[in-house]
Amino acid sequence: MIRIRFDPEKLSEPQKAEWVRLVKRADRATLEAIKAWEEWRVKGVAGTFTCSLLEEIWKSLKDWLLAEVFHNKCAYCETREVRSPYHAEHYRPKGRVRFRVEGEKRLKKAVVIDEAGEEIEHPGYFWLSYNWLNLLPACHACNSALGKNDQFPVKKMHIGVTRLMPEQIKKLKRNLIKSPRRDGVYYLQPEDLNELEEPLLLNPYIDDPQEHLAFGELGIVGPREGSDKGKQSISIYNLDAEKLRIARQKEQEAAYMQYVTELGRGKGVTKAARIHGAKAAMTKYIAGDEPYSAAVVANLRIQHPDHEW
């Protein structure tokens, strides 16, 4: 997993025009989802909330992000699948929200305190269904029933649609989506939810995976310095799966062979110049363009710690 630094404000044409078009459609769809919740709550309907979400909209966003931001790789494991359509993975689940309790086999359903102060089953972060900060292209393995699916563990407590007092609103970072028909009811955005919930899963938009994941030789991965976020992410995204470890190892070995070959080039060339040439051959890995870049660069640091990575 690598850190993703994406700022839509820095886009230039024609990318900018396409991005603006996608986001406008997403914003309209978000308001429709909120309208459905508002009507459901006002009617006092019992049971589980459901609304018609438009998959085509978040799929279009996912396809754009996959090609333009994520280097055509899974956001979590960095696998590049030639024929896979990839999932439009919702970091915060759009429907059911579950998490694992240590020692228990079955996943537990998350509960929240609703707008009326009552404890209810989490309806999902439906208002973030089309928010690009909540959308990540993910391979089937990372997002299947054996992977993340609808899991979302947090350190504090899960937040749903909530009622806020003026003094609480002043402490928040982002512009809130206000209820169109109920005073004091708000739909929080990812940046503020992150502070209130403290997610225990890595999000490459927000987190620097290097601070939580330690890649070693032979494609192995473990939590860095006991990071709970690293531990949970490895487990839920299946980052330590044997087939994935082998794939990382092969990429590490191929890249290292190329690196040492470049180091040996040129008679009479200074060591510094040879290192510079070898690192230039690794540019795409250092930039995160290639599969398993995090593991490859980590291995190069291990093999040549004096090369100033």
Q: Is the pLDDT assigned to residue 13 strictly greater than 80?
A: yes
Kindly state the average pLDDT of the residues 253-258.
Answer: 98
Say how far apart CA 285 and CA 262 lie, in whole Å.
15
Instruction: Name the amino acid, one letter, at 16.
Output: K
Mean pLDDT of the chain: 93
The full DSSP string for 196-232 is HH-BSS--TTT--GGGTEEE-GGG-EEEGGG-HHHHH
Q: What is the pLDDT confidence band of residue 123, given thresholds at 50, 70 and 90?
A: very high
Q: What is the pLDDT confidence band of residue 45, given thresholds at 50, 70 and 90?
A: low
Hunting for tokens 């990318």 — which residue is that? 15
Per-residue confidence (pLDDT) for residue 61, from 0 to 100? 96
Residue 88: enclosing H or E segment and its boundaries? strand 87-90
67-99 pLDDT, tens digit each: 999 999 999 999 998 767 788 999 999 999 999
Q: Is the pLDDT assigned to residue 208 strictly greater than 90?
A: yes
Q: Are 129 and 90 in contact (CB under 8 A)?
A: yes
Q: Which residues of 142-152 are buried (b: 16+ CB within 10 A; e: fewer)?
A: bbeeebbbbbb
**Structural domain spans, the chain:** 8-207, 217-307
Say how far apart CA 244 and CA 292 lie, in whole Å.
10
Kindly state the average pLDDT of the residues 131-148.
Answer: 90
3-class SS of residue 141: helix
3-class SS of residue 161: coil
Q: Is the pLDDT assigned to residue 243 strictly greater than 90?
A: yes
Tokens linked to 289:
């363009």
Q: Are 192 and 174 in contact (CB under 8 A)?
A: yes
Q: Is the pLDDT assigned to residue 48 strictly greater than 90?
A: no
103-119 pLDDT, tens digit each: 888 999 999 999 888 89
pTM over 0.75: yes
